Structure 1
Amino acid sequence: MKKIFKEFGVHFSAATILLGISLLFNDYDVADEEQQSLMVVMICGALITIGRYHYLKNRKGIVMMIVGVIVLGIALFTFSF
């Protein structure tokens, strides 16, 4: 179970980095706002999954999970998708 959460965290982080790099090379338009919103959601996904991995490992990842859930809730209600 820990390995699955670790893998999802790595994949969320890698996707966030690739999306951030693609935003650097594109001109600004409306699609960039959607990509930025998606990037925030992926960062939250990485926080939640990596936090869950650390929580299962030694119970120290609860803060990462809580921050990820709070930021995800704010992002889903404020950003446009």
Structure 2
Amino acid sequence: MKKIFKDFGVHFCAASILLGISLLFNNYDVADEEQLSLLVVMMCGALISIGGYNYLKNRKGIVIIIVGVVVLGIALFTLSF
């Protein structure tokens, strides 16, 4: 289970970085707003995954999981998809 959380965390981080770089090189457009929303959701997924890995490893990742879930909840209700 730790390996799954670690792998998902790494993949979410890599996807977030690539999407962020692609947004830096594009001009602002309506489609970019959806990509920004997706970027926030992927960052929250990375927080939750890495927090889950740390929680299973030494029980100190619960704060990271809570922050990821709270930010994800705010993002789902306020951002446009």
Same-fold status (TM-score > 0.5): yes
C-alpha distance in structure 2 between counterparts of 1:48 and 1:63, whole Å: 10
Corresponding position of 1:66 = 66
Structure 1 segments (4+ residues) deviating >3 Å: none
Which letter maps to 1:2?
K
Quick one: distance in 1 between partners of 2:5 and 2:73?
A: 20
CA distance in 2, matches of 1:25, 1:70: 30
Shift of the alpha carbon at 1:7?
A: 0.2
What TM-score do the two structures reach when normalised by structure 2? 0.99
Aligned residues between the structures: 81
Partner of 1:32: 32
Give the percent of matched residue pairs that are identical in Structure 1 and Structure 2.
83
Report the residue type matching 1:22 in the other structure: S
Counterpart residue number, 2:18: 18
TM-score for the superposition, normalised by structure 1:
0.99
- What one-letter code is carried by the residue in structure 2 that aligns with 1:9? G
The amino acid that maps onto 1:6 is K
**Residue type matched to 1:19 in 2?**
L
**1:67 CA displacement:** 0.2
Amino acid at match of 2:19: L
RMSD (CA atoms): 0.3
User: What is the one-letter code of the residue matched to 1:63?
Assistant: V
- Tell me the distance in 2 between the aligned counterparts of 1:58 and 1:28: 42
CA deviation vs aligned residue, 1:12-65 (integer Å, no higher than 9, x gap): 000000000000010110011100000000000000000000000000000000
* Stretches of structure 2 lacking an aligned partner (at least 5 in a row): none
